[in-house]
Chain A
Amino acid sequence: MSRRLFPWLIGLSLVFFVVAPILIVRAPLEQEMGLIQKIFYFHFSAWMAMYLGICVLGISSALFLFRRKPAVDRLAVSAAEAAILFGLMGLITGPIWAVKSWGVWWNWDARTTIALILELILVAYLLLRSYGGPGSDRLAAGLGMFAMANLPFLYISTNIWRTIHPPTSVVPTLPVDFGIPLWWSFAGFIVLCLALLTARVRLEEQRATLDRLYLALEDE
Chain B
Amino acid sequence: MHLGDITGVSREETRRWRRVALVLILIAGLGGPAGQTVDAAQPAEQSVPDGFVPMDDVPAEEQLPAAPLLAAAYIVVWVLAIGYLWTIWRRLGSVEKELAEALRRVGETDGA
Q: Footprint of B on A, CB under 8 Å?
A: 10, 17, 21, 34-36, 38-39, 42-43, 46, 81, 85, 88-89, 92-93, 96-97, 99-100, 192, 196, 199-200, 202-203, 206-207, 209-210, 213-214, 216-217, 220
Contact = CB atoms under 8 A, between A and B. Distances in A.
B88 A217 contact: no
State the majority secondary structure of interface residues on A: helix
Nearest to B72: A96
B46 interface: no
Contacts of B106: 213, 216-217
B77 to A, nearest CB: 5
Given A35-B66, A100-B66, A217-B102, 7 more contacts: A89-B76, A92-B80, A100-B64, A100-B69, A207-B95, A210-B99, A214-B102
A115 B7 CA distance: 55
B88 A213 contact: no
Nearest to A38: B70
B88 A196 contact: yes
Given A35-B66, A202-B92, A203-B95, A97 B103 contact: no
Interface of B: 64, 66-67, 69-70, 72-74, 76-78, 80-81, 84-85, 88-89, 91-92, 95-96, 98-99, 102-103, 105-106, 109
Contacts, number: 83
A99 to B, nearest CB: 6
A199 B109 CA distance: 32
Contact of A199 (B64, B88, B95): B88
Contact of A89 (B72, B77, B85, B88): B77
A213 B80 contact: no
Given A35-B66, A92-B73, A210 B95 contact: yes
Contacts of B99: 206, 209-210, 213
B91 A21 contact: no
Nearest to B54: A103
A206 to B, nearest CB: 5
CB-based closest 4 A-B pairs: A35-B66, A36-B66, A213-B102, A93-B73
Contacts of A42: 73-74, 77
Contacts of B88: 196, 199-200, 203
Nearest to A207: B95
Most A Cβ at <10 Å: residue of B70, B77, B78: B77
A96 B69 contact: yes
